Structure 1
Amino acid sequence: MRLAVISDIHGNLPALEAVLADIARRGADLTVNCGDILSGPLWPAETADRLMALQLPTIAGNHERQLLHCAGQPGGASDQYAFEHTTLAHQQWLASLPATLQLAPDVYVCHGQPATDLEYLLETLEPAGSRMARPAEVAARLAGTAGAQASLVLCGHSHLPRTMAVSIDKGLAGGTLCVNPGSVGLPAFDDDHGAYHMHETGSPHAHYALCSRTPAGWAVAQVAVPYDWGAASAKATREGSADWARWLATGYA
């Protein structure tokens, strides 16, 4: 089994197209989408149309929930823009997506942590900012969930490509490998949820991961794909989002 893992597209259609083309070139048995699909000042409707046609295994992230809440009251700028630039059919598709997914008996998919889409799985927030989580912290976040029984856990939310081995179930040979593919569409951001922090990949590339089952265990390739990030940055500028324009053009917050 070879899985292509995408996450955090954020309406960046040219980045998504570049990633899908790279997956087609390298080959994968299945592509799974870990959420945060449309929110942002880019191409939410076009991105929804592309993904709805593909019918990939897909879960909802926090921004799917936040976008849908805009039907009742105004939301954050990224969610509100995507809500106003998508159709009822797009929003109904988002509402149909599950929060987690058992992709295979030993492959589990969540956006953030199994219990919450707002908290990172592989990073920990402290007053000083964000740091890589310790394996024991990750194990505690997975304990008591289907992720604890998985040999491979796929997540997103942080936009940081990361692979971490943790030991949860002592009866699970080889432990659990947790993989965040990074973000297809937004390589940097800042946030004040929990504590003010910045996540940066350091380049404007679109990111995804390839996970291959081998006799020795899961092999993971974190892939950075070039695309026309200048066009994405220019689109954000036209929509009045200077911060997004900077993040897209540089990969720095």
Structure 2
Amino acid sequence: MKLAVISDIHGNVAALDAVLADAATRQVEQIVNLGDICSGGLFPRETAERLMPLGFPTIRGNHERQLSDQTLEQMGLSDRHAATTMLPEQLAWLAALPATRRVSDDVLLVHGTPDSDLTYLLETVTERGIRPATADEVEQRLGSVDASVILCGHTHLQRAMALDDGRLIVNPGSVGLPAYEDDRPYPHLVESGSPHARYAVLSNEGSGWAVSLLSVAYDWEQAARDAEANGRADWSRALRSGRV
């Protein structure tokens, strides 16, 4: 099995196209999508147009849930932009996505953790900021999940961790947004440090899983200008630098 794993596109269709082109050179058998697909400062409608015909195994992230659960008045800027620009059939596609999904007996897709699309799996936030989670913290968040491979997104940070019990957890990073700030449960910054589009490739030829965490160049300067045209200066800084 050889999988490409994408997550957190956030409407950045140019970054998505670059990642899909790169994945096509690596002879992957399947591409899976871990959610937070369209909401953002760029092109929600065009991103859905690109992805829906491809039929990738896909789960929802917190932004897909928020698009279904919240009114326009309750939404933040990114969700409101998606809700007001996407077609009804595209919003229905997002609303119908499952929270988790197995693509085989061994591989489980989650957005945050198996139980939450907001909780970080491989990172921990404290009053001092964000740090890598310990193995004990990850085991507690996974509980009794029996998949050999758990694929998670949400934090936009590429990371892999192998637990003592053999389970492998991989976050492919974000295709479309390399940095952001959040206030849950404490204010913190998430920064990948460069503007590249990120994804992962996992392969297993019978001797165990190999993980490649990949960074792909694309025209992030144009993406930053597109964000500025949409009134999202916060996005333009992140897209140009990978920092908040």
TM-score of the aligned structures, taking structure 2 as reference length: 0.98
Tell me, what secondary structure is at the counterpart of 2:67? Answer: helix
- Matched-pair contact (CA < 8 Å) for 1:102–1:108: yes
Segments of 5+ residues of structure 2 without an aligned counterpart are none
Cα distance, 1:149 vs structure 2: 1.1
Tell me, what secondary structure is at the counterpart of 2:153? Answer: coil
- The answer to whether 1:132 aligns with 2:132 is yes
Cα distance, 1:136 vs structure 2: 1.0
- Paired residue for 1:167? 164
Q: Residue type of the partner of 1:19?
A: V
- Matched-pair contact (CA < 8 Å) for 1:70–1:79: no
- The answer to whether 1:205 aligns with 2:202 is no
- Matched-pair contact (CA < 8 Å) for 2:197–2:215: yes
- The answer to whether 1:9 aligns with 2:26 is no
- Paired residue for 2:153? 156
Deviation readout 1:65-110 (Å, 9 max, x if unpaired): 1122344644001111111110111110001100000110011110
- Paired residue for 1:75? 75
Cα distance, 1:167 vs structure 2: 3.0
- Paired residue for 2:215? 224
1:153 and 1:167 mapped to 2: Cα distance?
14
Tell me, what secondary structure is at the counterpart of 2:236? Answer: helix
The runs of at least 4 aligned residues of structure 1 exceeding 6 Å deviation read none
Aligned alpha-carbon RMSD (Å):
1.0
Tell me, what secondary structure is at the counterpart of 2:25? Answer: helix
Which of residues 238, 245, 248 in structure 1 aligns to 2:236? 245
Q: Residue type of the partner of 1:14?
A: A
1:72 and 1:21 mapped to 2: Cα distance?
35
1:214 and 1:178 mapped to 2: Cα distance?
18
Deviation readout 1:31-57 (Å, 9 max, x if unpaired): 000000001110100000111010100
- Matched-pair contact (CA < 8 Å) for 2:48–2:90: yes
- Matched-pair contact (CA < 8 Å) for 1:70–1:83: no
Q: Residue type of the partner of 1:157?
A: H
Aligned residues: 244
2:170 and 2:6 mapped to 1: Cα distance?
11
Q: Once the two structures are aligned, what percentage of the paired residues are identical? A: 52
Segments of 5+ residues of structure 1 without an aligned counterpart are 169-174
- Matched-pair contact (CA < 8 Å) for 2:177–2:238: yes
Tell me, what secondary structure is at the counterpart of 1:104? Answer: coil
- Paired residue for 2:59? 59
2:74 and 2:125 mapped to 1: Cα distance?
27
Tell me, what secondary structure is at the counterpart of 1:141? Answer: helix
TM-score of the aligned structures, taking structure 1 as reference length: 0.94
- Matched-pair contact (CA < 8 Å) for 1:14–1:228: yes
Which of residues 185, 190, 212 in structure 2 aligns to 1:194? 185
2:54 and 2:90 mapped to 1: Cα distance?
14
- Paired residue for 2:27? 27
1:215 and 1:89 mapped to 2: Cα distance?
41
1:72 and 1:229 mapped to 2: Cα distance?
29
Cα distance, 1:216 vs structure 2: 2.7
